Amino acid sequence: MDITIWGTGVTAQELFPLIDPTKVAVVAFFDNEPSRWGSRCHGVEILPPARLGDFRDLVMVIASRAFPQIARQLAKAGFPLEQALDYFSERSRVLEIVAGQTFLVRHYHTVVADRLSRTEERFTIERPVTESLPCPVPLEARVEVARRVGLAFLDARDAAKEVSSSKYRIGENWACVVAVSREPLYSAIKNQDWEKTVQLLDNYFRSDISSSMGSCAAAFQGFVRHADDAWLHHNLRVWDYSVGSHTPLTELAVPPVGNPYGFRVGGLLINADALLNHHRAHVVRRLLEGVRRPVVVEIGGGYGGFAYYLNGGPGSLTYLNFDIPESLVISSYFLSLLFPNKRIALYNYSTKAIDTGFLSAHDIVLMPNFVLPHLAEGIADVSLNTISMSEMEHATIEEYYRQIERTCRGYFYMENLACAPSYKGFPVDTFPKLSGFQEISRAVSRWVGWDAYAFGHTYLEQVFQRNNT
Ligand SMILES: C[S@@+](CC[C@H](N)C(=O)[O-])C[C@H]1O[C@@H](n2cnc3c(N)ncnc32)[C@H](O)[C@@H]1O
């Protein structure tokens, strides 16, 4: 098949080596830069746009960020736009055409005798995974876990009613999420129907129980209809560069708990959350380097995505999550199934002081938010909160900041809103000052959908360091 490429810059240089010459021949390059006309790129002539008409029957790959402008230019020249493919937004289609498959390329660099050596590895992006993925944990064990976490939930919900401080009450946003999406789960637990509880949690990612925390039924149905993977290429690269090419792709694999869906990449199931959460765990691990059996305290840990990657890594640590009981029950179920050999502490009425003694007896501590004041002073090496505080009441944010100041001796890692969204949400610049800490890094989120292009939904990644650590 003959094709043409628009652009001769870095993108074209990246694209060209990916082409399978047994399948595809590039017969012309186009460029708007007159000084390039007549010269060659990879042995193929660079032509002026005036020659477009000669190639109007061929597919053209636009290897440029300026697709909208180039498309206008093509339309004006009478070039059929359906023949023009945008390498950035249609990377899978382009790779299918030029290479016969779609893949992620990772590059490995070394210096040998003063010279840069570059090798590459390709990971095939095989297909969307939408078939059901059975949980490998036997049903009997799942029912027992559901019973344990369900009873802890009922205790925590009762105890929450007695908490006097309104700062620990569920806020407006989350009260709404809980009311509209989770009732079937809570009534199964309330009725102590553990089989039903298991059934619901085992299909977590494909139902509304995961609303605002991973997925929802409509998101899954949308994925079944059209599994858009433009973001995947981008985010896989973001992940690759962020964690470094020495990090094996296998670390990303999403475990088959809660019936997740996503893409099969290099034989592994990967989804957007995996990239974000693995990266966050990587950041936290770097902050913890050199600390013996560190303590990591998360506030609002969702279904446990970050905790999975953090706790699945090498070395020993203690992980704590403080969340509203309504969400904690979900992370408690997942983490109990995923880490059957870890010592997991769940809430009961007698849970009072969470101090060094308590922590030395546990690997994972999953507590309702109102227990946070019982966490010992200066115990956390890293505290973190992602995509969460912005959604709380302002008084709650203030209270959690005071708790972080009291309990964290190392770093506070945070990812929250940069801007005011369409729903009620507080941008980080409205958060109080974190006394005794210095902000050592602040960057716009690197992920598609959260970055500076995501108007109204842009997040900031910040790291604060305790003074004198
Ligand atoms: C959008 S989810 C984010 C989950 C996870 N941190 C992530 O980044 O994927 C928001 C989390 O904040 C929790 N949350 C909401 N209100 C809270 C509160 N008042 N105290 C503690 N956690 C809360 C939710 O239960 C949920 O776990």
Q: Give 332-399 as a DSSP string.
A: HHHHHHH-TTS-EEE--TT---B-HHHHHT-SEEEEEGGGGGGBPTT-EEEEEEES-GGGS-HHHHHH
Q: Considering the chain, tell me which residue range(s) the CATH 3.40.50.150 domain(s) occupy.
A: 270-466
Nearest CA to ligand 1 atom 27: 302
396 lines ligand 1 (CB under 6 A): yes
pLDDT of residue 230: 80
325 lines ligand 1 (CB under 6 A): no
Tell me the C-alpha distance between 110 and 116, whole Å. Answer: 6
Q: Considering the chain, tell me which residue range(s) the CATH 3.40.50.720 domain(s) occupy.
A: 2-100
Q: Which of 410, 449, 397 is nearest to 286 (CA)?
A: 410
Nearest CA to ligand 1 atom 21: 323
Asked if 308 and 255 touch (Cβ cutoff 8 Å), the reply is yes
| pLDDT of 93 above 80 | yes
269 CA from centroid of ligand 1 (Å): 25
Write out the CATH class of domain 270-466.
Answer: alpha beta
434 CA from centroid of ligand 1 (Å): 20
Per-residue pLDDT tens for 224-249? 999 988 888 889 999 999 999 899 99
371 lines ligand 1 (CB under 6 A): no
pLDDT of residue 101: 86
State mean pLDDT over 425-446: 97
* CB contact set of 347 (below 8 Å; sequence gap of 6+): 152, 155, 156, 159, 325, 328, 366, 367, 368, 371
7 lines ligand 1 (CB under 6 A): no
Question: What whole-number percentage of the chain has pLDDT above 70?
Answer: 100
Tell me the C-alpha distance between 86 and 63, whole Å. Answer: 7
380 CA from centroid of ligand 1 (Å): 19
- Closest ligand 1 atom, residue 302 Cα: 27
pLDDT of residue 349: 85
pTM above 0.75, yes or no: yes
302 lines ligand 1 (CB under 6 A): yes
Our mutation pick for probing the ligand 1 site, out of 153, 174, 459, counting the most ligand atoms within 8 A of Cβ, is 174
Neighbouring-strand partners of residue 375: 354
384 CA from centroid of ligand 1 (Å): 11
Nearest CA to ligand 1 atom 11: 300
Nearest CA to ligand 1 atom 25: 327
* CB contact set of 127 (below 8 Å; sequence gap of 6+): 263, 264
Cα first-last separation, the chain: 61
pLDDT category at 75 given cuts 50, 70, 90 is very high
CA distances from 419 to 424, 430, 461 (A): 11, 10, 13
195 CA from centroid of ligand 1 (Å): 26
216 lines ligand 1 (CB under 6 A): no
pLDDT of residue 164: 87
- Closest ligand 1 atom, residue 396 Cα: 19
Our mutation pick for probing the ligand 1 site, out of 173, 211, 276, 327, counting the most ligand atoms within 8 A of Cβ, is 327
Least reliable range by pLDDT among 124-128, 196-200, 367-371, 395-399: 124-128
Per-residue pLDDT tens for 343-393? 999 999 888 799 999 999 999 999 999 999 999 999 999 999 999 999 999
388 lines ligand 1 (CB under 6 A): yes
| pLDDT of 443 above 80 | yes
- Closest ligand 1 atom, residue 214 Cα: 9
Two structure tokens written together for 432: 């109080």
CATH code for the part of the protein at 2-100 = 3.40.50.720
> What radius of gyration, in Å, describes the C-alpha atoms of the chain?
25
Burial 383-395 (b: 16+ CB within 10 A, else e): bbbbbbbbbbbee
| pLDDT of 469 above 80 | no
pLDDT of residue 314: 87
Per-residue pLDDT tens for 215-226? 999 999 999 999
150 CA from centroid of ligand 1 (Å): 19
pLDDT of residue 404: 98
The count of other CB atoms within 10 Å of the CB of residue 38 is 10
Our mutation pick for probing the ligand 1 site, out of 323, 393, 402, counting the most ligand atoms within 8 A of Cβ, is 323
Would the CA dihedral through 134, 139, 145, 151 be positive or negative? positive
pLDDT of residue 468: 81
Tell me the C-alpha distance between 346 and 365, whole Å. Answer: 6
